[in-house]
């Protein structure tokens, strides 16, 4: 069951394939690593390799960069074994308060094919 | 949103029973046929239906507003119960309706007239008496024409007889007996010296001057008001066409009487004789009595009467019971309520083939039957969607088929495996079939009450448990192999010592709020063998306190004795177990559960009248998880017990004094609604404090038109609040139904109408919310208006799946996830890597795939634009294909400046 974590980023790191992150007992095989402000003991990451996930992972890195550059709250879903401080994430998202959250449904219009 | 009638039809129903036992049409109470036999109208519990082909096909002149939930169109018939109809013989677009038994505080019962073929109506007369400041409205049950003047009518309205000589424009009342009640009236032609008029009710009265003055006939024959079930219909009093000094009368007890009055100017009373009644064809049932003069075989004057189960004819006057012959065939449903004949009708006989058989139209508990060969054969009408539905169980597999099953009054039950495209006879054959239920999270199971199953098992009844052998909904149709019959507890006894049900698994208690299934809440798995709760009665029902019982192993219960367990907790090999101590009041008979399987909270009430006839105090009790005793929460322990007005009510200041109905959110045990004596109350802390829900109250009472306690309708269980439904994922989404219609809130506080009863002349009996289906839907079971479906429900889109649409808004969420993990629940899954939420489309999700494929450059570009819009807080225009209920695939991203 994935766990959600949110916060401002304190660290965003990209490293070579296979160099890993963390001590042997809590190591994650990832290339992109992030940490949240106030949680220096925890780290989260994902692989960024030439594989079928590469387009999505590139996009995830772009979102992390946007969040880092703008000091926005970033949210992630991750998996981590019990007792581990480092987890592998599978989702990244940014949110903003709705500017006009109750626009009427009338804003739906038919688009031209 | 659309309102659809999804009832079985003659075209899509493959029934397993004879047409006399099951029909796709339900009860009608009265019928009128134009003299030429072309135009017909049927009245009943769903207003007035119309046929333009002599009763063969029917339609309902619905008054639906332009938008779902909008105001009912002007001219709609405001009440549903119609007991008699009259067609103007010269213009069949002019029709009068006797509307009665209205539940409003200021009853709208009365005489209504339509000049456009039942499209719009105007009340033209109402019978009222005001005594001591209290106005009483009379029950209108009979309209009588005269043979010589289409503008003259007589109407019996309980308090008086009213007559019009100008086609209903003006009316004059006369009172046969200020201390009596008059329910029936008939009139003859105008004669020198006056017109003969006869009236019946608590007595028989006659008039020789056109109903201006009356004489009481001393004969001790009474005739009850037009009935909703067994009893006298509006046609129970007839004047003989060839001699207006002769009347016939068939009482609800099936005795047939003839009154012969001396010719005017004599004012003497009639000479009454009892005629032989027809043979009882299979025992009396729930039809209405009537006596209709007509032309029999060979042109002989004849009578056609109902024995409340079927229709018989005899040449006037029958001397013995054997003179009657059954005039129906196997196509006619049992329990007739009315018969209308065209002017040229002639019955056929063994040795008499009429030259012009004309047309006869019969209305019964199965709708309408038509004969055009002098009653040799009858055909079934179509289009008359008047099934009387108890409640509806809906099982939807996410992304898969929707199965529906329901029981009806007098028409057994119906089942469909494909959302109503094809219907079959339900497995339970109770005649008056009963309730069915399912857990939306466990669509492979359905529970159906079968109180009449296994008649040898007197008083016990069964539950029919249907369990699918695969991942699809179970088959609930007749001969289903998914069926397991679960016996109920041993019989209890009623106040007279007669065996009666030993549990409350009967629709009688459903009508007052019993809900037998502990529903699965978000985040937990369903119980493999279900989760069923019932109240077990022992000894004398209503005298000996009941015991709340629960079973998570329903399929293992093999004998009635399994319910008599002393187990007080679930566990291995436990078939059923007691929940909590003995119920705190002997009249408690309704239970609802909330909070899921692990630690449910139970609420019980004693609002229903019991089988002993005793009425409970309408209290409400609660058993919280781990509690050792039942806690009474209505009436509560302290605090004011009423409020002067909704406007001045301080939240938490008032408490309900009674709970005539209660509904707990099955997913949130702290949220409880109560229909009190004065208001609708809502508690959000499990009954510790209450506030008046003015918005809901305004809806379900139609702005105060209906009182919190309904009386005087056709249904003793009628209420402004009959059912509520809740959403496991949307805390604020709720649907409520009652006599005024079906209503919805999306935020838990502001209610809006989905369908007002006046828009389609319906009486909701129960609602079922299918939140699993795409589109989400509410099914409305009605009293004699069939099965209605409202869908899609907000926030689901109205436009078709696969259609290309567009929206403009600010991005409120931008998410990227690993390939294949997607977004959303299984029933509305979005298979995409880039997920976008925009503030213009609440609860919707838009996505695009970001994969190593040919679309990669385009996807990268769209993601770039999405990031730009998000980062700079610019509005984005998304053009998308709808792929799910609330999900869509992005095909274009346009950045607006």
Percent of chain B with pLDDT over 90: 86
Cα(B754)–Cα(B749) distance, rounded to whole angstroms? 15
B612 or B385: which leads in pLDDT: B385
pLDDT of residue B531: 98
Cβ contact A99–B839 (<8 Å): yes
Cα(B259)–Cα(B265) distance, rounded to whole angstroms? 17
Tokens of B397: 């597999």
pLDDT of residue B322: 95
- CB-based contacts of B695, cutoff 8 Å, min separation 6: B745, B749, B750, B751
Beta carbons within 10 angstroms of residue B880's beta carbon = 24
CB B474 within 8 A of CB B482: yes
Q: Which of B454, B463, B362, B446 is nearest to B406 (CA)?
A: B446
Under 8 Å CB pairs connecting chains A and B tally to 119
Mean pLDDT of A55-62: 97
Beta carbons within 10 angstroms of residue B569's beta carbon = 9
> To the nearest whole number, what is the mean pLDDT of chain B?
94
Confidence of residue B612 (pLDDT cuts 50, 70, 90): low
pLDDT of residue B100: 94
Percent of chain B with pLDDT over 70: 97
How many residues comprise chain A? 113
Cβ contact A55–B852 (<8 Å): yes
B443-467 tens-digit pLDDT: 999 999 999 997 677 668 999 999 9
Instruction: Please name the member of B833, B839, B842 whose beta carbon is closest to the beta carbon of A56.
Output: B833
Tokens of B237: 């009093």
Q: Rounded to a whole number, what is the distance in Å from the CA of B772 to chain A's nearest CA?
A: 22
Q: Rounded to a whole number, what is the distance in Å from the CA of B887 to chain A's nearest CA?
A: 14
Bond into B775 cis (ω within 30): yes
pLDDT of residue B644: 42
B622-662 tens-digit pLDDT: 999 999 999 999 997 654 444 444 444 455 568 999 999 99
Whether the predicted pLDDT of B495 surpasses 90? no
Confidence of residue B283 (pLDDT cuts 50, 70, 90): low
* Tokens 């998202």 found at: A93
Whether the predicted pLDDT of B263 surpasses 90? yes
pLDDT of residue A107: 32
A92 chain-B contacts, CB cut-off 8 A: 815-817
Cβ contact A108–B879 (<8 Å): no
Cβ contact A107–B842 (<8 Å): no
Whether the predicted pLDDT of B712 surpasses 80? yes
Whether the predicted pLDDT of B32 surpasses 90? yes
Q: Which of B512, B895, B507 is nearest to B718 (CA)?
A: B512
CB B583 within 8 A of CB B551: no
Cα(B314)–Cα(B687) distance, rounded to whole angstroms? 64
Report CA-CA distances (Å) from B796 to B254, B810, B891.
Answer: 55, 20, 20
B397-430 tens-digit pLDDT: 988 889 999 999 999 999 999 999 999 999 999 9
Cβ contact A91–B815 (<8 Å): yes
pLDDT of residue B399: 82
Tokens of A113: 């094919």
10 Å CB burial of residue B670 (0-12, 13-18, 19+) is middle
10 Å CB burial of residue A12 (0-12, 13-18, 19+) is middle
B819 chain-A contacts, CB cut-off 8 A: 52-53, 56
Confidence of residue B282 (pLDDT cuts 50, 70, 90): low
Q: For testing the chain A interface, which of B839, B848, B866 should be mutated: the one with the most A CBs within 10 Å?
A: B839
- Give this complex's ipTM: 0.87
Bond into B876 cis (ω within 30): no
Instruction: Please name the member of A99, A100, A111 whose beta carbon is closest to the beta carbon of B806.
Output: A111
Measured between CA atoms, the residue of chain B closest to residue A49 is B852
Residue B889, chain A, CB below 8 Å: the answer is: no
Cβ contact A111–B818 (<8 Å): no
Instruction: Please name the member of B815, B856, B860 whose beta carbon is closest to the beta carbon of A92.
Output: B815
Cβ contact A110–B806 (<8 Å): yes
Mean pLDDT of B467-489: 97
pLDDT of residue B651: 53
Q: Rounded to a whole number, what is the distance in Å from the CA of A31 to chain B's nearest CA?
A: 15
Q: Rounded to a whole number, what is the distance in Å from the CA of A94 to chain B's nearest CA?
A: 5
Query: If phi over 0 gives left and psi between -120 and 50 gives alpha, with beta otherwise, what is residue B61?
Result: beta
In B561-645, alpha helices (H): none
B334-388 tens-digit pLDDT: 999 999 999 999 999 888 788 889 999 999 999 999 999 999 999 999 999 999 9
pLDDT of residue B615: 78
Listed in order, strand segments (DSSP E) in B522-562 are 532-536, 547-551
């Amino acid at each position: 069951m994935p766990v959600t974590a949110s916060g401002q980023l304190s660290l965003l790191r990209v490293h070579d394939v296979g160099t890993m992150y963390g001590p042997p007992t809590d190591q994650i095989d990832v290339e992109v690593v992030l940490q949240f402000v106030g949680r220096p003991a925890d780290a989260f990451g994902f692989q960024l390799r030439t594989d079928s996930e590469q387009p999505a992972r590139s996009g995830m890195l772009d979102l992390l960069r946007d969040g880092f550059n703008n000091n926005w709250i970033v949210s992630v879903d991750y998996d981590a074994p019990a007792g581990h401080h480092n987890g592998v994430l599978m989702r990244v998202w940014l949110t903003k308060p709705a500017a006009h959250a109750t626009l009427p449904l009338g804003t739906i219009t038919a688009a031209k094919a | 949103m659309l309102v659809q009638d999804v009832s079985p039809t003659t075209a899509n129903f493959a029934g397993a029973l004879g047409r006399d036992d099951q029909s796709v049409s339900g009860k009608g109470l009265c019928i009128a046929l134009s003299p030429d036999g072309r135009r017909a109208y049927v009245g009943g519990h769903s207003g007035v239906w119309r046929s333009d082909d002599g009763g063969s096909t029917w339609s309902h002149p619905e008054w639906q507003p332009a938008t779902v939930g909008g105001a009912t169109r002007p001219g709609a018939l405001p009440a549903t119960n119609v007991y008699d109809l009259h067609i103007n013989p010269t213009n069949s677009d002019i029709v009068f309706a006797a509307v009665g038994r209205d539940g409003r505080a200021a009853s709208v019962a009365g005489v209504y007239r339509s000049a456009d073929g039942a499209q719009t109506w105007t009340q033209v007369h109402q019978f009222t008496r005001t005594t001591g400041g209290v106005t009483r409205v009379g029950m209108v049950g009979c309209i009588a024409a005269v043979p010589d003047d289409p503008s003259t009518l007589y109407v019996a309205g309980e308090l008086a007889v009213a007559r019009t000589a100008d086609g209903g424009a003006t009316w004059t009342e006369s009172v046969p007996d200020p201390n009596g009640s008059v329910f029936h009236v008939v009139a003859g032609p105008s004669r020198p010296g006056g017109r003969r008029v006869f009236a019946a009710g608590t007595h028989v009265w006659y008039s020789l001057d056109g109903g201006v003055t009356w004489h009481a006939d001393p004969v001790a024959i009474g005739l009850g008001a037009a009935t909703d079930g067994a009893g006298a219909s509006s046609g129970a009093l007839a004047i003989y066409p060839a001699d207006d000094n002769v009347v016939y009368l068939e009482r609800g007890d099936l005795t047939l009487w003839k009154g012969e009055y001396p010719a005017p100017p004599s004012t003497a009373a009639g000479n009454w004789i009892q005629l032989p009644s027809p043979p009882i064809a299979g025992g009396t049932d729930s039809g209405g009595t009537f006596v209709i003069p007509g032309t029999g075989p060979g042109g002989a004057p004849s009578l056609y009467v109902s024995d409340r189960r079927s229709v018989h004819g005899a040449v006037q006057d029958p001397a013995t019971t054997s003179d009657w012959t059954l005039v129906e065939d196997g196509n006619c449903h049992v329990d007739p309520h009315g018969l209308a004949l065209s002017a040229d009708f002639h019955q056929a006989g063994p040795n008499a083939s009429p030259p012009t058989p004309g047309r006869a139209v019969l209305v019964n508990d199965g709708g309408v039957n038509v004969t055009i060969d002098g009653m040799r054969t009858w055909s079934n009408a179509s289009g008359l969607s008047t099934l009387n539905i108890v409640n509806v169980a809906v099982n939807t597999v996410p992304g898969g088929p929707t199965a529906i099953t329901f029981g009806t009054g007098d028409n057994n039950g119906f089942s469909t495996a494909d959302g109503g495209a094809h219907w079959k006879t339900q497995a339970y054959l109770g005649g008056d079939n009963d309730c069915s239920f399912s857990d939306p999270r466990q669509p492979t199971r359905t529970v159906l009450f079968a109180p009449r199953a296994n008649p040898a098992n007197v008083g016990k009844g069964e539950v029919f448990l249907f369990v699918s052998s695969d991942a699809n909904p179970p088959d609930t149709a007749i001969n289903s192999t998914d069926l397991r019959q679960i016996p109920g507890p041993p019989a209890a006894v009623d106040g007279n010592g007669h065996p009666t049900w030993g549990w409350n698994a009967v629709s009688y208690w459903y009508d007052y709020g019993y809900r037998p299934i502990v529903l699965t809440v978000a985040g937990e798995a369903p119980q493999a063998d279900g989760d069923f709760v019932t109240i077990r009665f022992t000894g004398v029902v209503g005298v000996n306190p009941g015991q709340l019982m629960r079973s998570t192993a329903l399929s293992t219960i093999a004998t009635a004795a399994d319910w008599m367990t002393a187990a007080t907790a679930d566990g291995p090999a436990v078939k059923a177990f007691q929940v909590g101590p003995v119920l705190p009041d002997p009249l408690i008979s309704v239970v609802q559960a909330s909070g899921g399987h692990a630690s449910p909270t139970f609420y019980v009430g004693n609002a229903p009248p019991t089988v002993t006839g005793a009425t409970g105090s309408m209290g409400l009790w609660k058993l919280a998880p781990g509690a050792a005793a039942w806690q009474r929460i209505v009436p509560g322990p302290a605090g004011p017990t009423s409020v002067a007005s909704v406007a001045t009510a301080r939240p938490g200041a008032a408490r309900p004094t009674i709970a005539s109905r209660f509904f707990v959110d099955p997913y949130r045990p702290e949220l409880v609604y109560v229909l009190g004596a004065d208001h609708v109350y809502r508690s959000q802390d499990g009954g510790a404090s209450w506030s008046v829900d003015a918005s809901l109250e305004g809806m379900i009472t139609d702005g105060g038109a209906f009182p919190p306690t309904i009386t005087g309708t056709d249904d003793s269980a009628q209420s402004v609040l009959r059912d509520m439904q809740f959403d496991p994922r949307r805390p604020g989404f709720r649907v409520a139904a009652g006599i005024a219609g079906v209503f919805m809130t999306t935020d838990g506080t502001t209610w809006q109408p989905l369908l007002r009863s006046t828009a389609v002349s319906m009486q909701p009996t129960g609602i079922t919310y299918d939140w699993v289906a795409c589109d989400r839907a509410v099914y409305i079971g009605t009293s004699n208006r069939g099965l209605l479906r409202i869908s899609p429900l907000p926030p689901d889109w109205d436009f078709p799946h696969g259609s290309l649409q567009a929206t403009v808004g600010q991005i409120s969420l931008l998410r990227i996830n690993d390939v294949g993990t997607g977004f959303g629940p299984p029933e509305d899954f979005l298979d995409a890597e880039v997920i976008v939420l925009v503030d213009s489309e609440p609860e919707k999700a838009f996505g695009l795939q970001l994969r190593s494929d040919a679309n990669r450059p385009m996807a990268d570009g769209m993601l770039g634009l999405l990031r730009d819009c998000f980062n700079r807080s610019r509005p984005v225009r998304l053009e998308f294909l709808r792929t799910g209920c609330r999900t869509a695939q992005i095909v274009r991203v346009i950045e607006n400046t």
